[in-house]
Structure 1
Amino acid sequence: MASSTNTMASGTETEGPLQAAAVKCSPGLSQWLARHRTSIALSSYQAGQLFLVGRFADGTISLYRRDFGRAMGLWSEPGRLFLGSSLKIWRFENVLGPDERANHQFDALYVPRTAHVTGEVDIHEMVVEADGRLVFAATRYSCLATLSATHSLKPVWKPSFVSQLTGDDRCHLNGVGLENGFVSYVTACGRGDAAEGWRAGRRGGGVLIRLEDGSIIAEGFSMPHSPRVHDGALYLLDSGRGYLVRVDPATGRREDVAFCPGFLRGLAIHDGYALATLSLPRNIVFEGLPLQEELEARNETPRCGLAIIHLATGRIEEWIWFDTHIREMFDVAVIPGIACPMAAPQQGAELANLITFENGQACPDRLGRR
């Protein structure tokens, strides 16, 4: 691939660059991305899209989107992205070298290379452990799972209060958190062991579970999400209240860090900041949740988008708000070292004609064997 090339078209009506009128960004977002040398990936299962947020050379914000039905859990590692969707887990690879550019301006081009078919297991969050094993929340089946070469999934853990792996979403197991490179914490919206039993505890039945011994180390949350360990502290989203919360895993003691005006799902922590996605209510208001009461008390309007929160102060310093048909977000991942990413589509002529060589254009005239 040449150092600067127009390998991809700008996209269709629903893909490619998103028009500026459809989204509002905080005035300091571009400087924040530059200062922290990162870009951001977002997913929306309601819109069925993957978004890549970056910064052009002139400082303007780039927001690139691709269609992936029911886009949910995200994981980023150097040169690679994973995305959970309605029936598949996608693996994307960045095909650009350090000095290469796509369309003269994008310094990463993520191309879908594998699509592992899981079926409708309702994948929520996912992580890659230090040994390379991908682990995801198979929420419909109330368990953590990994990939299987022959089957839809390989279950690796379930809460002790779930008696069997049936596809009826008993506890709404959703969040997966690493510590020292391995899955250590999960969140669930309840301790149900019947079909959708978690719904009875939407207001305060949520739990934080430690995998090492299966113990519930904190409870009383409203639809919790996204446990994350950072600098020795454990954070999660108390989504039904609208708060980013810090939890002491030894005692279960928790403290509110920041309020966000929307239903929280998806959390990434980078360089002293928490990045959390927000969603609008599905039915005008957040019925039956403390979040609605908090919004009314603060006289705030719910938002859909991304909040970037300074952990030291609890203040939302930067943000992205969507003013389009996009009403619900799911996950967020930071992409350090990349300024302006884009992605190839999952099918069609653009993907069919995007051919890259691992060793450049060089091809030996003899078959080398080891």
Structure 2
Amino acid sequence: MTDEPQLSASEAADEPPQPDPLRSVYTNTLGDILKQTGVSLAVSTYQAGKVILVRYDPETQTVNTHFRAFGKPMGIAADATRLAVGGVNTVWYYRNMPAVARKLEPPGKHDAAYLPRRIHVTGDIDIHEMAWDADGELWLVNTRFGCLCTLDADHSFHPRWRPPFLSALAPEDRCHLNGLAMLDGRPQFVTALGETDTPGGWRADKARGGLLMEVPTRRALLRGLSMPHSPRWYQNRLWFLESGEGSLALANPRAGTWQTVAKLPGFTRGLDFLGPLAFIGLSQVRESATFSGIPLVERLTERTCGVWVVDIRDGRVLGFLRFEEGVQEIFAVSVLPGARFPELLEWTDERLKHSYVLPDEALAAVPDALRE
């Protein structure tokens, strides 16, 4: 059981008011979890055009939701030093600069500051999940072209893998490839909403046409899934979200079966882990043809949006953050390790003009008074 929800902390008073009331409530247990683990969350919502930092404020002892505007943000790849966000036709790259965090107001509050470094323009490829490989190269799920791709300076994208049933590389969203799981630093598993090879063909059997595939062998490991997303290899087991059921599931690839670990009150999409905890994004899902006829809509007439915390050992809900207004859909949820109270600087932030990051060998030529 979780505590009764209480109102979350509002944005800092010196920030301009949001055009929409992005109001949320949360359980006290969520604040306890963030405080005890020393992490925060990066959450994307393409519907609201925001990346949200969910963090615990030790001064007010509340959970704080900190919003930054992006153009249709979906996939997030993040760790203690890097953060990348995939948008409608762009990938934004950030680096964590702790020295900058120490200079933010109020003094001593921030312990991480993600500064923008570069932008890559991909064209409209409907970027879904993203992940870094063992060599530090970023892999993207290119949903519009139905492939996994990487990026380089000369091209919009570099196709690296696509399902064997796709006969062409075309911007037609033929199977709605969407999820990516890494194993030993290499792409290992993907999810798709259909094993189809026609423009938007996955829509005809979206309720049960989903599949989970192994990248190296190009084999389908599971079929008959309801709108699967967010495959993850964690603690030597293969997890995924069966979004059409509103559930967290555990796969048994050898048997071609899966089991439901927890059923939640929304369209599950966006997943990350920390110890025995799963952080799961929930969406209300629109009343539209895309989501009609799926089990979740038939099970629940009212669905919710937010981030839920589940104990993967027994499926218990330990806490949640629920959006009351302004945010109806979540795509990605990513744990920011070692970042209790991070900042995400905007591209127009004046502080970027005076923040310089140099190689160690170059710092030797910088006067001591100017060196951090």
TM-score, length of structure 2 as denominator length: 0.89
Match 2:224 to one of 203, 220, 227:
220
Alignment of 1:10-29 (within 5 A): 10-14=14-18, 22-29=23-30
* Structure 1 position 107, deviation (Å): 1.5
Deviation at 1:357, TM superposition (A): 4.3
Identity level (%): 35
User: Which residue, 229, 233, 236 being the options, matches 2:237?
Assistant: 233
The alignment's C-alpha RMSD in Å is 2.4
Structure 2 residue 293 is the aligned partner of structure 1 residue 288: yes
Distance (Å, rounded) in 2 between the aligned partners of 1:115 and 1:184: 27
The one-letter code matched in structure 2 to 1:205 is: G
Q: Distance in 2 between matches of 1:102 and 1:214?
A: 48
CA deviation string 1:3-44 (max 9, x = no partner): xxxxx99433339xx98x811011111110122121110000
Q: Does residue 242 of structure 1 match 2:246?
A: yes
Q: Who is 2:4 aligned against?
A: none
Evaluate the alpha carbon distance shift between residue 65 and residue 86 of structure 1 in structure 2; reply closer, same or farther with a 3 A threshold. same
Corresponding residue for residue 3 of structure 1:
none
What letter corresponds to residue 304 of structure 2 in structure 1? Answer: R
Taking structure 1 as the reference length, the TM-score comes to: 0.89
For residues 326 and 99 of structure 2, what CA distance do their matches in structure 1 show? 35
1:237 positional shift:
0.6
Within 5 Å, give how 1:1-370 maps onto structure 2.
10-14=14-18, 22-58=23-59, 59-97=61-99, 100-104=102-106, 105-283=109-287, 286-295=291-300, 301-346=302-347, 348=348, 350=350, 353=353, 355-358=355-358, 364=365
User: Is the contact made by 2:101 and 2:113 (CA closer than 8 Å) also made in structure 1?
Assistant: no
Instruction: Kindly report structure 1 stretches of 4+ aligned residues shifted beyond 4 Å.
Output: 351-354, 359-363
Distance 1:108 1:28 in 2: 23
Aligned residues: 351
Which amino acid in the other structure matches residue 23 of structure 1?
S
Residue 293 of structure 1 deviates from its aligned partner by: 2.0
Q: Could you tell me how far 1:131 is from its partner in structure 2?
A: 1.3
Change (3 A) 1:365 1:131: closer
- Give the distance between the partners of 1:138 and 1:365, measured in 2 at CA: 43
Structure 1 unaligned regions, length at least 5: 1-7
3-state SS of 1:152 partner: strand
SS at match of 1:69: coil
Given that 1:125 and 1:136 are in contact with CA atoms closer than 8 Å, whether structure 2 keeps it comes out as yes
Structure 2: where are the runs of 5+ without partners?
Answer: 1-11, 368-372
